[in-house]
Structure 1
Amino acid sequence: MTQPFPFSAIVGQDAMKRAMLLTAVDPGIGGVLVFGDRGTGKSTAVRALAALLPPITVVEGSPTNAARPEDQAEWETVTGALREVPTPVVDLPLGATEDRVVGALDIERALSRGEKAFEPGLLARANRGYLYIDEVNLLEDHVVDLLLDVAQSGRNVIEREGLSVRHDARFVLVGSGNPEEGELRPQLLDRFGLSVEVASPTDIEERIEVIRRRVAYEQNTQAFLERWRTEDGKVRDAILAARRLLPEVETPDAALRDCAELCLALGSDGLRGELTLQRAGRALAAFEGARVVDRDHLRRVAPMALSHRLRRDPLDEAGSSARVARTVDDVFA
């Protein structure tokens, strides 16, 4: 199988890469929504990030990637041995049925052996990894409802066909799409911690460099990977260092006040905006080796933490990210 394109070799798209790095430091941020043109590296970035992360330790044979034998679900049949596997990245296709997503009765086993057994779905495979949904704005409503329930609880619950199954389903949700093809339901939109907008590069030299690197990757994959191995290693080390530092990062009252004042000025509903902004600020501070969240950290993560939580203003022609940046300048002046 072809190895993913190196994360460090992705040209441009700094906001998208930063958002994904922050979720790698703190998966509790709540995932990333990437809206923009096709062919701008959205799926490449999530696979590249997962590939450079350290492997996870799982129980041999666990379809839910249980970290310890005591973490496995009661229906799992495992050997008990531990092994390391790459961080999982699971694609959720638009046409996926409910049974494929959450899991269902194992029909083959029921017919051949007369046993009632559970066949895990995509949510089980994505546990402790990434669940990637391309064209997330075109996802069917009933699947959206399922994802909302699981994203909130971190548990997948199946009660059907005589089955009563529960298992962990904690993953970083990454969605991408083109806003011209349809809007995302507000309930699901609010569940994404961060959102970024990407566009095709307009600088001719940047476009040439994208082509140059892609051709080099396809012509000699191993040589290209080796060329970028050191840079990817630096990113991996920075993520691991940030994870260790994160519990020690403090958010002073002044930063909390900044979060609240900014969200009030923007008119964002509820408190999820403040909580995500503070959490993203802490993750950025940890990634940069800082032990205290300051206004500069909040300023840089505010557009990705708040732009998708704004109410529409038909009289404002500026994009949501521009509105956030403008409000940040006013509040932090």
Structure 2
Amino acid sequence: MSILKNKTRPVFPFTAIVGQEEMKLALLLNVIDPKIGGVMIMGDRGTGKSTTIRAIADLLPKIQVVQDDLFNSHPSDYDLMSDMVKARVQNNEDLLTSFINVPMVDLPLGATEDRVCGTIDIERALTEGIKTFEPGLLAKANRGILYVDEVNLLDDHLVDILLDSAASGWNTVEREGISVRHPARFVLVGSGNPEEGELRPQLLDRFGMHAEIRTVKEPSLRVKIVEQRSKFDSNPYTCLEEFKEQQNKLKSSIVEAQKKLPNVNIDYDLRVKISEICGTLDVDGLRGDIVTNRAAKALAAYNNRNKVEIGDIKVVIKLCLRHRLRKDPLETIDSGNKVQQVVDSILKL
């Protein structure tokens, strides 16, 4: 029985996924720099959205947490600690730590606000004076990935809560004058099918990047995808062994990029070009400028460079801006192509 208990269900290897380069790149950059603000993945059914998201979570190195802490608190980073752990640090208490897999939390469509944010036991607080908090999915997702499938079908106010927490890194629950606050730093990944309705523009704008995926049309690629999946389903451990070296190589590239990121610079001239593109495209607010700068830096770090090049901006800018353009129902040109035209005219190599 104990042997069965220790056997975790194998996850399809990230490096075995064929095609869908936009989605893979957006996920990798958000993992390198979670402050990019998450990814919205829109595309056809059955294109491997969920498989890819689970695969990226499985690829990440284990994280160090304070043992028995409800919020996966970091033992030394103040920003990633719950208030209880901070109090213990201030009292010079020794913290026991352990290593866990990066949390990957699925948010079900029918989730309530209490299930997402957590609840305070009011009765116990009033009768015994003890502040008891039952953590929700945001607590479990701290320092991990929160995945919302069919995000366009989720209640708008819940999407608002998720985006607020993802942006601020904190979740606050208030009931009857009692308040509990805890860290909620996670990469928010939403996926959906455009046929089932679009997200409101103001919510869409809050996602850092927007990847569009289409069903592969090329017959030989389709055959390769089916073969890869069949191979994994019939013998997952052989498939994992086959991609072990590539997985380890990518894992170390991510770790190196995370270390390198704080030292990556982007020249003033390039920052001006990014803002010129955003201005020409009439992008509301400055979120587009900020996210493009961050994503370009993350890509430079991933490519083992300390300086952002024009090529980095060209690769990421469509992902960062296409969902921020104002939609004109009479416009025949796709928003991604519109971004590309402006980029090509302003960023001449």
TM over 0.5: yes
Deviation at 1:14, TM superposition (A): 0.6
Deviations 1:143-176 (A, max 9, x none): 1232233223211111115632110001000000
Q: Distance in 1 between matches of 2:296 and 2:38?
A: 15
Q: Distance in 1 between matches of 2:167 and 2:31?
A: 19
Q: Distance in 2 between matches of 1:105 and 1:314?
A: 46
- What's the counterpart of residue 39 of structure 1? 46
Is structure 2 residue 137 aligned with structure 1 residue 122?
yes
Give the one of 219, 224, 227 matched to 1:204. Answer: 219
SS at match of 2:64: strand
- What's the counterpart of residue 73 of structure 1? 83
Q: Distance in 2 between matches of 1:76 and 1:133?
A: 30
Q: Which amino acid aligns with 2:265?
A: E
Give the one of 141, 150, 160 matched to 2:165. Answer: 150
Moved more, 180-189 or 127-136: 180-189
Written as runs of structure 1 = structure 2, the 5 A alignment for 1:235-314 is 235-314=250-329
Q: Distance in 2 between matches of 1:233 and 1:221?
A: 17
Flag the 1:212–1:248 CA change in 2: closer, same or farther, 3 A. same
Q: Distance in 1 between matches of 2:295 and 2:85?
A: 37
Question: What percent identity do the matched residue pairs reach?
Answer: 49
Unaligned runs of 5+ in 1: none
Deviations 1:165-190 (A, max 9, x none): 11000100000001111111223211
Moved more, 286-295 or 5-14: 286-295
Q: Which amino acid aligns with 2:346?
A: V
- The answer to whether the Cα contact below 8 Å between 2:149 and 2:191 also exists between their aligned partners in 1 is yes
Paired residues, number: 333
Deviation at 1:65, TM superposition (A): 0.3
Q: Distance in 2 between matches of 1:109 and 1:235?
A: 48
- What's the counterpart of residue 12 of structure 1? 19
Is structure 2 residue 178 aligned with structure 1 residue 168?
no
SS at match of 1:159: strand
- The answer to whether the Cα contact below 8 Å between 1:151 and 1:191 also exists between their aligned partners in 2 is no
- The root-mean-square deviation of aligned C-alpha atoms, in Å, is 2.3
- The answer to whether the Cα contact below 8 Å between 1:105 and 1:161 also exists between their aligned partners in 2 is no
Moved more, 75-84 or 275-284: 75-84
Flag the 1:200–1:107 CA change in 2: closer, same or farther, 3 A. farther
- What's the counterpart of residue 91 of structure 2? none
Give the TM-score of the pair, scaled to structure 2.
Answer: 0.90
Flag the 1:77–1:265 CA change in 2: closer, same or farther, 3 A. closer
